[in-house]
Each structure stands twice: as structure tokens, then as C-alpha cells.
Amino acid sequence: MRDAPATGGECVIGVKTDVSSFFEWFPHRAHEIEIINLVFLPLARLDREKGEFLPVLAESWRFEDGGKELEITLRSDAVWQDGHPVCAEDVLFTHQLQIDERLGWYGARHKQRIESVERVDERTVRFHFKRAYPDSLHDAVIGNIYPAHLLKELPVEGLEESEFSRRPVGCGPFRVGRRVPGEALELLASETCFRGRPHLDRLEFRVVRDKQTRALIFEAGELDLLRLASPEQFDRLRRAGYQGHEATGLKYTVVVWNTTDPLIEDARLRRAFAMAFDRERMVQLAQRGHGSLVPGPIHPGSWAYSVDLPRLTFEPAEASRMLDELGWRDRDGDGVRENGTQDLEFSLAIPAGAQFYINVAALIRDDLARVGVRVNTTLLEGGAYQEAVYERSSQAVLVTERADDKVDLSGLAHSSSIGDDGTNYAGYASPAFDEVCERAIAARTQDEAKKHWREACEILMKDQPYTFLFYRNDTHLFVPRFRGVRIDANGLFANVLEWRDGEH
């Protein structure tokens, strides 16, 4: 535990919605999960800066039986906010809820290879896996732990509507204070967390549903923190004296190519298109520089990321040569290549009313026009846009996805993920990729799996069913009085215990 800090002050934060439930198993927006994570804690947490798991409620862990068993020892000083110690029963109880189909937790998919969890003693649990595999630690520790002594008598069906769901007892650095449902939520500094008491006395989350309104009342002095400011707001308000903090986020923008389309099915054509994209220029113009190029489908903070993986480069001359080679030439001098009577053009679907996508699409259209390709941008309303993504009703779609901490590219590009419930939105089918992907999933160690995932990424780089463009930085603004704020890839509240209100 840290030494007792000088305390005092508050931070008022605008959010789009209230926290509907403090049980993470029910659907939540990203900011709601961030708030829940201030009240509850997991066994361990991935440090995306270091690419390794760091202990939280766990004191230590060790693998046994060739990686098929994982023994975790809990901290002796971890307690719930009612004084009851965090114990092995809490871990077993939480695991059973995580895999309960009646709750339908999105993270339950990560628990599928866990055969059972047993209590060794009051502070020790043992996870039994169906086999050894590289992400077994991730699967064991993902998700917050909940108190069995307060919840085990409640029916599963009644958890979401229970009093605990609204006024929980956690083990994290903050506890729930005053609540005005739909309007405001107060978190107070906890005196019982082993991580130490935060410097701030309180955080207040004020519900302001409209993004532009949140920005206006931030500038009016009613908020202390503006989450995820636009690049334009971020630059303008930093110049005006506000604190700006940014880090590479998990959201990335990607072109999803419909590989079942008669034109787009040619991987050589997709690769030529991708080489014509000036992605650095996209970051500068669409994000005002607040972003970074996506090297591929594996996040740079992952153990499976290969630093020396060949990158997609901006080579318009090579793109033009490849198009010539494929028989696409501008024979009539109108600026658009053709092959026989067919012009080289395709449709790119984007969501209507979203200026970010409109800007990126304009840059794509400009890049491809320079090599003789016409892009027809189609702005689609909600349902029609979803249809373009899920049912491949367009030749290409511009989307934003979120990088996963767990490495598994089968959902992205394995042929078994094509279909009504699949997430292979490109409709990409490659026996070579499928084979390498299956070898990676079957690997027992990270070193073995990393080799196969690298090969899988090389196949995707060559075939371009997806053209990964750039990560969008998370940009946050604070009023000038705050001290000790540090934002990194681990999220907005990664060092919230160190935040100080300069007026106290």
C-alpha cells in the first residue's frame, strides 16, 4: 500500500450515459466499464505498454502440469469494502457466473477452454484447462471478481435488478456514493483498498448525452475532464491553456473488402488499391496527427506482435504498375482505367452523418483517383450500413473496430467465420490462412503460436481482405489545475490514484 497521500478535491467528468448496472456481465458502453473497473478489480490486468500481465488481486501465479493447470494465490491484504477478505470462494463464485448462459456475458467465450476451477485453500485457487495454450492466463484472469458472501443467495435472474447492482460493495480504489439515476454518479475514495487511498476525494460522473454539449459545458467550467475530445477540440483547447493527454487507443479504422465480389475478389487488385493509400496523410488530415498506422490485425502491445513484420507501404507507382499488369489501363484518357468496356470503379459504404468517415473516404477517393480508380462513396443510414458490413451488400466498407487483448484471428479471417453469425465480414476464404491459423490456435506455447500468427499476418498482408489504416489516439482534456495525470495505452484511469486537484 502506498504511503497516505495529501488528499482532497474532485474531478467532474461528463459521460454519455449512466452506469446501468455494476455487474459487468450485462451490456455496457466502454465508459461504463471504465467506471465499474474503479470499484471492482480482476485477478490480474494486461499492461498494454509492457505487453505482460501484472498482478492485481493475485499475489502470484504459477503454471503446472505442462501448462494445463494454473495456481493463483490471492493477496492477503485484499478486502471488500465491508471489511470481508477477498477469498478463493469469490473467485469460484465469479467464474460460475461468468460462464452462466443466463447472463450471456460477452467475455464467456474466453472461458471455454477452462475445464474447472478448484479451491486449494482460503487464498489459493487452481484453474484446470482442457489443454495448454498461449492465452490461458488471459482467459483465467479476464473479468472482475465479485463478493460471494453478499451475492450467493441471490437468484441469477435477479442480479441485474438487485440493490447490489446499483449500490455495490467492491474492492477497488473507489466506492459508490450519491446517485441520481440518469443524471449523476459519485464515486468516493475508498479507505480499504490495498492499492492505497486515491489523492482525490471524489469523482463525479455527470450524464450529458450530447457530445457537443459536453464540450460546451467543459469550456464553460462545469466539467473538469472532457473524455475523447475530437482532434480539433484537443488542439484548440490545448492552445488555450487546457491540459491535453493522449495515447494510442484500441480503435482502428479499416477498409473491409468484399472478397466475394467479382471485381474485388482479385487479391492482386486489392493489394494495388492498398499500396495507393497514403495512410500517413490520412492520419495527418483526418486525425490532425493524433493517430498511428496500424501494422496489422495484432495490437503492438500483444505478446504475439512481431516488430519486424513487413509493413504495407505507400507506393503509388508500384500500384499503377500492378494495375497495368492486370490489364487495367486508361485507354480513353478520361482519368479512369478500364478493361474492355468496364471502368475500374467500386462502391465504398460509410455511415451517413459521420464526418470522420466522410473525411477518410474523401482521402481514399483522392488517393485512388491518382492511380486511375474511381471510388463511389455511398452514405448509408444505420440499418443499411449494418447490412453493408454484415451481409456484404457493398464492394467495400469503411469501419472502425477495436483491437482485442486476446490473439485469435480466426474470427477475422478464417473461412469458418463466414456466415450469418460469423465475423469474417470480408467473406475471405484462404486454405493457406486457415491452415496457419489452426496451427497457431493449436500451439501450446506463446513462442510457437507467435511464429504461426506472424505467418498468418503475412498472408493477410499479401491478400488484403482488410486494409488496416490507422489507430485513433484517445485524446482527453483536463482543466489546468490537475496534477499527476498520465494517460497511456492502459486507458484513461490507469493512474487515477495519482491524480491531484491543484486547489487542495
CATH code at 451? 3.10.105.10
Contacts of residues 161-166 at CB distance under 8 Å and 24 or more positions apart, as own/partner, are: 164/22, 165/21, 165/22, 165/23, 166/21, 166/22
Q: What is the pLDDT of residue 1?
A: 46
Question: Do 277 and 422 have their domain in common?
Answer: yes
Q: What is the pLDDT of residue 392?
A: 95
pLDDT in tens, 273-286: 999 999 999 999 99
Q: What is the pLDDT of residue 420?
A: 80
Is the dihedral angle over the CA atoms 292, 298, 304, 305 positive or is it negative?
negative
Question: Do 136 and 279 have their domain in common?
Answer: no
Question: Do 277 and 399 have their domain in common?
Answer: yes
**Distance in angstroms (rounded) separating the CA atoms of residues 39 and 33:** 10
pLDDT band, very low/low/confident/very high, at 28 (cuts 50, 70, 90): confident
pTM reported for the whole predicted model: 0.92
- Within-domain flag for 430: yes
**Distance in angstroms (rounded) separating the CA atoms of residues 282 and 198:** 40
Question: Do 261 and 113 have their domain in common?
Answer: no
Cell 492498398 belongs to residue = 274
pLDDT band, very low/low/confident/very high, at 6 (cuts 50, 70, 90): low
pLDDT in tens, 281-310: 999 999 999 999 988 899 888 899 998 888
Q: Which residues pair with 245 in a beta bridge?
A: 476
Question: Do 410 and 276 have their domain in common?
Answer: yes
pLDDT at 147 over 60: yes
pLDDT in tens, 200-226: 999 999 999 999 999 999 999 999 999
- Within-domain flag for 112: yes
Q: The C-alpha cell of 185 is what? A: 454518479
Contact of 264 with 395, CB cutoff 8 Å: yes
Domain count, the chain: 2
Q: What is the pLDDT of residue 2?
A: 45
- Within-domain flag for 311: yes
Residue 291: domain span = 250-472
pLDDT in tens, 160-185: 999 999 999 999 999 999 999 999 99
- Within-domain flag for 16: no
Average pLDDT (368-378) is: 98
Question: Do 144 and 254 have their domain in common?
Answer: no
pLDDT in tens, 311-331: 889 999 999 999 999 999 999
Q: Identify which of 112, 140, 124 has the alpha carbon closest to the alpha carbon of residue 53.
A: 140
CATH number of the domain encompassing residue 69:
3.90.76.10
pLDDT in tens, 451-497: 999 999 999 999 999 999 999 999 999 999 999 999 999 999 999 99
Q: The C-alpha cell of 478 is what? A: 483536463
